[in-house]
Amino acid sequence: MGHLLDEIGQRRAFRAFNEKKVPEEVIGRIMTAATYAPSCFNNQSWRFLMATEREALDKVRDALSIGNYWMKKAPVLVVVATKPEFGCQMSDHREYAIFDCGLAVENLMLQAFSEGLFAHAVAGYDPLKVKQAFGIPDEFIIITLVAIGYPGDEGHLNEKHKELEHSPRNRKPESEVIAYNRWHFTIDQ
């Protein structure tokens, strides 16, 4: 019996990053885990731009929302991009490129935590700035940025974020989001 649930439980959206460099082989394993994710028709619709050098890191940092100031300490920032056409597009308008990316990013985060690192995906950034800085064609969707790095001290975090580093996991009761055999969800929430 494996203990994958324990490993999954280790992942939290921590923000206290250390500036210490992450060895290339560790980054390599984390990204291999990302690419091992399943995807619709095995399309592998994810594209990862790895910012590890000063100039590239600064380009991503410039695009962060104010509330994501804590990401500036992370030594690795991943730009996750896709195009709807890269993924399965079903006749009833279901689109799978972004879904594929989500599966890959969760793999990435779990591998990072299993290596003793933090990995935190965010939506708070200006995607146009990211595209302009790197010359990424307009057709791409910059679906998330992921900060990767070793745990650091909390000195640079604001009070709310310091508190969140130690907060218990906050989830809806499972009965609100999981139904067995009968649909019981309302259209309101």
Helix count and strand count (H, E) for the chain: 7, 4
Q: How far is it, in rounded angstroms, from Cα 92 to Cα 95?
A: 9
The three-point CA angle 65-164-81 to 5° equals 40
Torsion of CA 74, 75, 77, 78, to 10 degrees: -130
Shortest distance, CB of residue 125 to ligand FMN, whole angstroms? 7
Query: Which SS3 state, helix, strand or coil, does residue 42 take?
Result: helix
Shortest distance, CB of residue 24 to ligand FMN, whole angstroms? 26
Which CB, 16 or 31, lies closer to ligand FMN? Answer: 16
Which CB, 39 or 68, lies closer to ligand FMN? Answer: 68
Shortest distance, CB of residue 183 to ligand FMN, whole angstroms? 25
**Binding site residues, ligand FMN, CB under 6 A:** 12-13, 68, 121-124, 144, 169
Shortest distance, CB of residue 122 to ligand FMN, whole angstroms? 3
Cβ-closest position to ligand FMN: 124
Q: What are phi and psi of 119, to 5 degrees?
A: -145, 130
Which CB, 8 or 179, lies closer to ligand FMN? Answer: 8
